[in-house]
Chain A
Amino acid sequence: MSCEELQRDLDAWRSGELAASRQTEVETHIAGCDECGELVDGLDSIAGLAPVLKGEPERRCIDALEREHLDRYDHFDTSLGHVHVAFTERGIRAIRLGGTKDSFREEHAKRFGRALHCTRISDEVKREITKVIEEGGSTGLAVDLDELGEFERRVLAVLREIPQGEVRSYAWVAREAGRPGASRAVGNACARNPIPFVVPCHRVVPSSGGVGNYGYGPSMKRSLLGAEGVPVSMLDRMAAKRFRYIGSRSEGSYCVPCCSDVRDLSPDDVFFVRDERSAAAQGLRPCTSCRPLVAV
């Protein structure tokens, strides 16, 4: 066997990557050949130098990827169905009840321009999300609204302020979000709410009464509101009779239905009020807790 033919195999021999017979052949040759032995020493010295090239740069590539391109994803079961959650280190970006992982991923890419990588959401957060889906209620879970438009962000912030067990009208949310009269835009923002349950868009109802529409269907909205202590059937009765507010004789004020201030009053004290114009005509002032709309 010539040295030249053998030399190209020396490095593979060093790492034991040759076929067994060839390994032996090379080993035997090296033992008796000074030139090839020196070449092996040379390879050893280069291999010995190479580790200094590795350096120790501290990188957290996943952080950069998450900053620019990727959101985290996890999914789990609740009694009402499978839940998909997209989140960032700042908070929850999107939640959906039902549907497949693939469709959730596609929608997420379309809306936010971001891919999802699977990771574990904490059990505590999982429990909290399960609770607001199964029983309604409010949660302090952090949300990430960064990718939303300015108005959507404001609307979602207002929704989070609506107390559990109460509802507000689209017109009310529009006023609170700084665009009085933009009820339709609020309706759109609610319909597109990427974080239902956690951001309680189910607490927004039409000014004309009743519970109105919901992404997961009106009956889901009714049961969430009912579970939170909203007197849903009273809302229906008021809608049928075209009343929007509840007045208080002793307080001389009017409230949105199910304002917490109303609940403490005796049934004799309260009466239905048609609308804000009628309230003004009766000399009622708007309640300072629920801040109902005021006639202009």
Chain B
Amino acid sequence: MTISPTQTSAAAAPDPIAGLALAIHRGEPGAFERAVGTFEKPLFNYVQRMLRNVADAEEVVQDTFLRAHRSLTEKYTEAQCSELALRPWIFRIARNLTSNKRRGKRFEVEVQLSEDAGSAATVPGVSIVCRVELKDDLGRLEEALYRLPASDRELILLRFMEEMSYREIAEMLGSSEASLRGRVFRAVRSLRTLLEGETDEL
């Protein structure tokens, strides 16, 4: 059992993206590219697992960056940019675009879900996970994740995959930290139930 808290990078380390929004606003060379490099993987991982479709996820991530770029360079003032918490903000854009996409594709997604529920072969990144053990973990975890309601899945992804702090998630979702802790707790409990249920069957 762990007694001393393990610090996540989000909570402890100095923010590597501090000032990036302002830098993009001011047109510092390479700032936007840096933002894209920093967020493309986390955003893709999140969106892809919400939509379960690689092509759609790629489109959403691209649109997210375009919107972010337009807002930072053309709409937001210098003061707004310097106060902006970039990560929750950009995730919120991705979240809105993701839900637009889901709405447009609900029927399609449900058909697909029922057809290949939990198939790890459709998930990018699997091929590079060489160790069989990890592959099993990934398959099991993904299986369980996709069986969770989307709202629970989202919380697990943001908290454990993206390692976002409660403050960031609260800002992104527009809820209070206290209620968020309760929701994450319940999502984790559901996930564990699913994972343990599976182990029992084996």
Contact = CB atoms under 8 A, between A and B. Distances in A.
A256 B137 CA distance: 78
Interface residues of A, number: 51
B3 A27 contact: yes
Interface in A65-84: 65, 68-70, 73-74
Contacts of A119: 29-30, 32-33
Interface size class of B (residues with CB under 8 A): 35 or more
Given A17-B167, A46-B188, A101-B27, A52 B2 contact: no
B7 A15 contact: yes
Given A55-B128, A61-B36, A16 B192 contact: no
Contacts of B28: 118
A117 B66 contact: no
Contacts of B101: none
A14 B37 contact: no
B126 A74 contact: no
A133 interface: no
Nearest to A27: B3
26 contacts: A9-B181, A11-B184, A15-B6, A16-B11, A23-B5, A27-B5, A30-B1, A42-B188, A50-B160, A52-B138, A53-B157, A54-B45, A54-B125, A55-B123, A55-B128, A57-B125, A59-B41, A59-B58, A61-B58, A61-B62, A62-B37, A64-B58, A65-B62, A118-B24, A119-B29, A120-B30
Interface of B: 1-3, 5-8, 10-12, 24, 27-33, 36-37, 40-41, 44-45, 49, 58, 61-62, 65-66, 69-70, 73, 123-126, 128-129, 134, 137-138, 141-142, 145, 156-157, 159-161, 165-167, 177, 181-182, 184-185, 188, 191-192
Interface of A: 7-17, 23, 27, 30-31, 37-38, 40-44, 46-47, 49-57, 59-62, 64-65, 68-70, 73-74, 101, 105, 115, 117-120
